Amino acid sequence: MQRIDRTRAALLRIGLVTALALGGVSALTQRAAADETCNSPYMSNLIKGQEDFIYVWTLGVQGLGDGADKLVTIDANPASPTYGKVLRSVSVLRRGEAHHMGFTDDRRFLWAGGLDDSRIYIFDVFSNPAKPRLVRTLEGLPGETGLVGPHTFYAMPGRMLVQFLSNTNDHGGVTGMAVFTNSGDLIRTYAMPTGGGGDGYGYDIGINPNKNALLTSSFTGWNNYMMNIGQLIQDAEAMQRFGNTMVVWDLKSMSPQKVLQVPGSPLEIRWSLNEGDNWAVAATALTSKIWLIKQEGGDWVAKDVATIGDPTQIPLPVDISITANGKGLWVNTFMDGKTRYFDLSNPEKPVQTYEKVTGKQVNMVSQSWDGKRVYVTSSLLANWDKTGENNEQFVRAFNWDGNQLTLAFEVDFTKERLGRAHHMKFGSNALRAAHDDGGADQPASARLAKEER
Amino acid sequence: MMGRAIAAVLALCAGTAFAHEIATPKADFVAPAPGSYRLEKIMAAPDGVVLNTEAKPRRLSGYTRGKVTVLSLMYTHCSDEKGCPMAFYALQMIQRDLEKERSARDRVQLVSLSFDPKHDTPEAMRAYGGELVGAKSAVPWHFLTTTGGQALRPILSGFGQDVSRPAKAAEDDTGDMSHVLKVFLIDRAGFVREIYSASFLMPQVVMNDIKTLLIEDGVRVD
């Protein structure tokens, strides 16, 4: 028996196990090509089947419930008796402009940030995926980093890279990134480039490991994103203070390599997930364009490849979601409440093939890995959302058959007294951690202590 | 006899066939030169009690300090070609390349540490390491395990390594475990300076990182 085990161990070690009949051992060490379909390539445990939960990072509204920001968990499994219902709401007991979230590389923890109070909340989503638990709050980051407004939370191996939007000096758009251990300890910060055509602004992060390329985009600072939208639009000077660049960084050295001019505030970045593709897309909020970022002759370039709606009407594209095969792109435009689909078969010439009004105002759009389900939220920023009857606050789930979106369920966040629904992430019961204690211990420590004496 | 059989299997698989079975991620870029960038101190590598292949209890820090260390957390039954077998392959490539580097080779060590002590006994680790165990290489490779969960948990926690046994695997007793592949680069003082997961484990990049740490220590690398 021992001989068999020894031979098997040697074979396993050299990777021939797949040639052996070992009872259909499944590949459990997962290498992520991407999340469902928009997160870090370093993240594991993709949900490629039916998601069980939608986690919604929700802005508190004064007078609604406890008025605080909260992580809301919605049952998203059609087979569940509570399908489409709110399962849990974890309040952080204060209002700090809840905005975006991101998983750690092992998908055990969900980091969520406040753009106003610059706090980062870390939720345990693996002990019980149906009942996320707040386990740590990072406070005092502006003093520690000089940065304000943690926006994008991007998994790196064993750590989190966070893109901020602003700074403590003037609350403008010049900002930086900070990297933390997975448990929340600050490692160091990186300034966004202000030379070589850089405006120093930041927004999203996208990494292509095969190219050692980190791509960043640019939005605006605290002074603008906390300003009332009506007032902001009237302020010509403030309207000049939006980012107009994307930056290609050398990931290993974390040094900026090239600043790309992408006017009109390029927001979310999506690398194509198709094996062998090495291009990314981003949409510009103010100019309503889709931009393609790729290498031509070894040089990184940004190309304006499509128009979203009528730019003169400022549809305000606010989020994009790329399909797992890199052939399609959902685009949400806030002002007209439309969810649009672009055929990306030729990324040099995206073509819009579908659109539907999915709300009076729409912000984030997320799709399942198989592309069959599309989720939409309503809130952009507390002071930028529409008012009165146009201020719908919801999560809407749609089924996509390749031709049309059909409403599957809706959660009214005002009626449920939750707040403004912003960013979404998926959860699954299958990710619940199984206990493994490693077996009973032998008294080796005592033996070592004796030897050391 | 069986040792020779294993050696023969390894020899057969060490060439082209081996390369076809396992592939590290494609590096479609020119890696920055060693010493041209800085690797941050991510965290202190945890200490604890481990067992070597002779079943002797030893401090883990005895294998993670004094030299630059490349440490792979693994289990021998792992069958995912993008998992532990790939890490083993990458470490083998690194050892092979380092042995050619006169100024670097005596300053680096490799460690494979199991997180499945239930199955990966010192004897199983010795079988897993095969002829690499105790081999006379300028770049020693240590194969370690622990006595059980109590010894293992603080080490995994310190490295931030997730490991779980899915309910079905536990039920069927297949030995399958779920984890994110992680390989750690640790400096002479015992600080983790880089972490490689499956998308990131490129031997040439690891080599450059090792040399970057050696340059930091004042070593003139080739």
**Domain boundaries along the sequence of chain B:** 43-215
To the nearest whole angstrom, how far is the Cα of B96 from the nearest Cα of chain A?
16
Q: Give CA–CA dist B49/B152, Å, rounded.
A: 8
Give, for A406, the enclosing helix (H) or strand (E): strand A405-412
pTM reported for the whole predicted model:
0.90
Say how far apart CA B94 and CA B204 lie, in whole Å: 8
Measured CA to CA, the distance from residue A186 to residue A356 in angstroms comes to 43
Nearest chain A CA: its distance from B136 CA (Å): 20
Q: Which residues of chain B lie closer than 8 angstroms to A184, CB-CB?
A: none
Fold classification of B43-215 is Glutaredoxin (3.40.30)
Of all residues in chain A, the one with the smallest CA distance to B181 is: A29
Give the minimum alpha-carbon distance from A48 to chain B in angstroms, rounded to a whole number.
Answer: 16
Superfamily of domain A30-433: YVTN repeat-like/Quinoprotein amine dehydrogenase (2.130.10.10)
- State the pLDDT confidence band at B136, using cuts at 50, 70 and 90: confident
- Summarised one tens digit per residue, pLDDT across range B183-200 is 999 999 999 999 999 888
Alpha helices of A82-169 — where are they, by DSSP H?
Answer: 141-145
* Beta strands per DSSP E along chain B: 43-44, 49-51, 57-59, 68-74, 108-114, 141-144, 163-164, 178-179, 183-186, 191-196
Q: How far is B188 from chain A (nearest CA, A)?
A: 19
For B74-108, b/e burial (b = at least 16 CB within 10 A) is bbbbbbbbbbbbbbbbbbbbbbebbeebeebeebb
Which residue among A5, A17, A250 places its CB closest to the CB of B79? A17
- Residue A406 and residue A372 in contact, taking contact as beta carbons nearer than 8 Å: no
Write out the E strands in A202-359.
Answer: 205-208, 213-216, 245-250, 255-261, 266-271, 280-284, 289-296, 299-307, 317-322, 328-333, 338-343, 351-357
- Name the residue among A197, A215, A191 with its Cα closest to residue A205: A215
- B29/A213 Cβ within 8 A: yes
- Of A6, A27, A181, Cβ closest to residue B79: A27
Which residue in chain A has the smallest CA separation from B194?
A157
Are the CB atoms for A248 and A230 separated by under 8 Å? no
- Residue numbers in A near B13 (CB within 8 A): 14, 16
Residue of A39, A249, A252, A445 for testing the chain B interface, max B β-carbons within 10 Å: A252
- Could you tell me which of B53, B46, B51, B131 has the C-alpha nearest to residue B92? B131
What span, in angstroms and rounded, lies between the C-alpha atoms of B7 and B17?
Answer: 15
Residue A437: list chain B partners with CB under 8 A. Answer: 148-149, 153
State the smallest CA–CA distance between residue A261 and chain B in angstroms. 23
Is the Cα dihedral A336, A341, A344, A346 positive or negative? negative
**CB A113 within 8 Å of CB A153:** yes
Rounded to whole angstroms, the Cα distance separating A45 from A67 reads 34
Cα B222 to Cα B203: distance, rounded to the nearest angstrom: 17
Is there a contact between B108 and B139 (Cβ–Cβ < 8 Å)? yes
SS3 A266: strand
The two three-digit tokens of residue B52, written as one number: 């070597």
Which residue in chain A has the smallest CA separation from B200?
Answer: A209
- Residuewise pLDDT in 10s, chain A (453 residues): 333 344 444 444 444 333 333 222 233 333 333 336 676 777 777 888 899 999 999 999 999 999 999 999 999 999 999 999 999 999 999 999 999 999 999 999 999 999 999 999 999 999 999 999 999 999 999 999 999 999 999 999 999 999 999 999 999 999 999 999 999 999 999 999 999 999 999 999 999 999 999 999 999 999 999 999 999 999 999 999 999 999 999 999 999 999 999 999 999 999 998 888 999 999 999 999 999 999 999 999 999 999 999 999 999 999 999 999 999 999 999 999 999 999 999 999 999 999 999 999 999 999 999 999 999 999 999 999 999 999 999 999 999 999 999 999 999 999 999 999 999 999 998 877 654 556 667 666 666 666 665
Compare all CA atoms of chain B with the CA of A213 and give the residue at the minimum distance.
Answer: B29
Cα angle A442, A447, A449 (rounded to 5 degrees) comes to 125
> How far apart (Å, rounded) are the C-alpha atoms in residues A385 and A191?
30
Cis amide linkage into residue A37, ω under 30° from 0: yes
**Closest-CA residue to B113 (of B51, B202, B66, B186):** B51
Of B81, B170, B198, the CB nearest to A18: B81
- For residues A299, A304, A306, A308, the Cα torsion angle rounded to the nearest 10 degrees is 130
Residue of A nearest to B148 (CA): A441
